[in-house]
Amino acid sequence: MSIIKEIHVPDIGDFKNVDVIEVTVAVGDIIDVDTPLIMLESDKATMEVPSSLLGVVREIKVKAGDKVSQGDLILYLDVAESVSAPERPSVVTETAAASGTGEAREVRVPDIGDFKNVPIIEVLVAPGDHVEIDTSLIVLESDKASMEVPSPFAGTIQSVEVKVGDPVSQGDLILVLRESGADAAAKPQLPDTLSVVTLAPRTPKPASAPPPPPVKSMPMETAAPSFAKVHASPSVRRFARELGVDLTRLAKGSGPKGRILKEDVQGFVKQVMSGALAPTAPATGGVAGGGVLNLLPWPEVDFAKFGPVEAKPLSRIKKLSGANLARNWVMIPAVTYHEDADITDLEAFRLQINKEGEKSGGVKLTMLAFMIKACVRTLQRFPEFNASLDGENLIYKQYYHIAFAADTPNGLVVPVVKDADKKGVFDIAKETGELAKKARDGKLGPADMQGACFTISSVGGIGGTYFSPIVNAPEVAILGASKSVMKPVWDGKQFAPRLILPLSLSADHRVIDGALATRFNVYLAQLLADFRRVLL
Ligand code: CAO
C-alpha cells in the first residue's frame, strides 16, 4: 500500500523566498533519511534541504529557479516500505529480505525503442539477491546505446532466465522475483523507464545510419559531454559523478569489451588516494588541468587521545557563512593592500559633534559611518570597485549599497546600508546602529543583507593592526579597518603625534590590479584625513 508523505521546506531561519538552484533528486529515486533534496541559495548562504524520511520520490513540486520559504511543499514521498527517521534503511532491507512472502513477479524487457535482439552484456543479479525498485538487473548494449534495465519491483530474485550474450527484445522474460512485504501487491510500480547512454559508435556508421532510439531518460549525461565516449553504464557514470571521478581517465575498463565497471572506478579512486595517480589529468603541455584542487584528504585526528575534548555543533550562521567564505577564499585571487589614514582631525571633529549632540540627545556619530561615506565617494571615483564580475563582463552598479560586518554571539553577519550616497553621516550612523542591534538580536531579514556593492569590516572597536579580509562575492573588494592609535609621524620638521587608522583593502585581482587598489587606498586615506574633500 502506498503511503504518501509530503516533504516541506524546514525552518531555514530568517530566509524567505530563497532561490532553488538545484533539485538533486528525480521522480522514482529511492532516497534515504538525510539525502539532499534541493539546494537553496540566497546571496549570503547556500543550504541543502535533506529528506527527513526514506522512501521513493513520487512527485516533485519545485524546480530550479523557484523561490521557496519555510513550509513550502517540496515533494511527495512514498514511504510504504520505509520507516521514518531516525531508523535506518538497513532495517527495511532486512525486513524485506526476510519476509519473501509476496507474489511471484515476472520481470520482462520493457520498451527499448526500435531496438531488437540486443545482446545482454552484463547480468547484475543472481537468484537469492534482494533487489529494490530501480535496482539495475541487466545491461544491454547495441552499437548505439548502452541500456540498464531496472527492476520495477522490490523483492528476492527466484530465477534468472537470461545470460550474458543472449539477444533480447521487448517483452522477453528476464527473471522471476518474489515481491517483498505483505502489502507488496498494492505497491505502485515505477514506470518502465530505462537509463540510456548514447555511445559513440565503435564501428563507424554511414551518414544515413538510423538515428538512435528515443531516449526515455538520460540522467545528467548531457551535462558531462566529455563522458559521452566513455564505455560505462549509467549507474557507473552516476557513481563516478558522485565521487567526482573523470571517467575519461579510465580509458579501458575490466568489463566485457573494455567496459568500465564500478570496481574500476573504486580502483582508480584508491590509486589517487594512495598518491599513485595524480587526481587531475594533465592538460596539453603537461600542465595540471584546472577545476579540481590537488588536495590531501582532511586530517582525521582522534583529539581525545591527547587530552579531554568536547564537541559542539557550529552555529547555523557559522555553517552558512563558512561555505560562502570557503568558496570566496578559494575562487577569488584576492590581494590585500594596506594603508594608514591620519584621522586625527576627523576623530576630533567626531568627538566634538558627539559632545554637542549629547546636549541635544542626538545620534552618536561613529567612525564606521564616516568610513561608509568616504568609501562611497571613493567608489564613485573608482567605479571598478563598485562592480561585479559576470562571466567576461564587468557589471558597473549605479547605486551605492554598503555592507558592514557585524559580530554577533552566533557568528558573523553582514547587513547592508542601502543608497548610502543619498544619506548623511548622521543617517548612516543611526542606521548602522539599528542594523547592528538587529544583527545581535538575530532579527535581520534577507532584505537587510542583500544587494551590497562593497563591504567594510571594522574590528577597530576590538583592536588589531592590519588583517586580510575575504572578498564577499560577488563584490570585488572589501575594506578592513583596525584600531586607530596615536603614532609619531614626521611632518618635515619633527615627529608629531597623529591618530592613525590602519586600513586593509582586499581586492579581486581579476578586476583590480595593484596600482588601482593603491590609488583607491591613497584617495580614501586623503578623504579621511580631510573630510572636506568628500564634498569635492
Ligand atoms: N579605532 C579605534 N577605536 C574604534 C574604532 C577604530 N577603528 N572603531 C570603533 N572604535 C571604538 C568606538 O569609538 C567605540 O568607542 P566608545 O565606546 O568610546 O565610543 C568602541 O570602539 C566600540 O565601537 P563598536 O565597534 O561597538 O562600534 P562601531 O560603530 O565602530 O562598529 C560594528 C559597529 C557593528 C562594526 C561592530 O560592533 C562590530 O561588530 N565589529 C566587528 C566586525 C567584525 O567582526 N569584523 C570581522 C569580519 S571578518 O571575520
Residue 208 has pLDDT above 70, yes or no: no
183, 382, 390 from 387: Cα distances, Å? 60, 10, 10
- In 387-432, which ranges are E strands? 387-390, 393-396, 402-404, 406-408, 411-413, 416-417
Catalytic annotation, residues: 509
At 121-158, the pLDDT tens digits run 888 999 899 998 888 899 888 766 778 888 999 999 99
Contact 464, 484 (CB under 8 A): no
Crossing angle of helices 514-529/367-381, nearest 10°? 130
- pLDDT, the chain, mean: 82
Residue 99 has pLDDT above 80, yes or no: no
Phi, psi at 321, each rounded to 5°: -70, -30
Q: Which residue lies with its CA nearest to atom 16 of ligand 1?
A: 461
Place of cell 567576461: 392
At 174-194, the pLDDT tens digits run 999 998 864 444 443 433 334
Contact 74, 35 (CB under 8 A): no
Q: What is the dihedral of CA 451, 454, 458, 464, to 10 degrees?
A: 140
**What is the Cα–Cα distance from 366 to 371, expressed in whole angstroms?**
9
Nearest to 535 by CA among 374, 298, 345: 374
Q: Which residue lies with its CA nearest to atom 14 of ligand 1?
A: 461
Give the 3-state secondary structure of residue 186: helix
Q: Which residue lies with its CA nearest to atom 44 of ligand 1?
A: 407
Q: Is 459 in the pocket of ligand 1 (CB under 6 A)?
A: yes
Q: Which residues contact 222 (CB under 8 A, 6 or more apart)?
A: none
Ramachandran quadrant class, 165 (left: phi over 0; alpha: psi -120 to 50; beta: rest): left
Residue 460 alpha carbon to ligand 1 centre in Å: 5
Atom of ligand 1 nearest to the CA of 501: 7
**What is the Cα–Cα distance from 189 to 177, expressed in whole angstroms?**
14
Q: Is 371 in the pocket of ligand 1 (CB under 6 A)?
A: no
Q: Which of 241-245, 384-388, 390-394 has the lowest mean pLDDT?
A: 241-245
Q: Is 436 in the pocket of ligand 1 (CB under 6 A)?
A: yes
Ligand 1 pocket, mutate which of 412, 458, 471 (most atoms under 8 A from CB): 458
Contact 210, 196 (CB under 8 A): no
Q: Is 479 in the pocket of ligand 1 (CB under 6 A)?
A: no
pLDDT in the model for residue 14: 75
Atom of ligand 1 nearest to the CA of 412: 44
Residue 480 alpha carbon to ligand 1 centre in Å: 11
pLDDT in the model for residue 352: 95
pTM above the 0.75 mark?
no
Run of H or E including 347: helix 344-360
Q: Is 461 in the pocket of ligand 1 (CB under 6 A)?
A: yes
Contact 50, 10 (CB under 8 A): no
pLDDT in the model for residue 73: 93
Residue 364 alpha carbon to ligand 1 centre in Å: 13
- Residue 125 sits at the vertex; the CA angle it makes with 121 and 126, to the nearest 5 degrees, is 115
Residue 207 has pLDDT above 60, yes or no: no
Q: Is 481 in the pocket of ligand 1 (CB under 6 A)?
A: yes
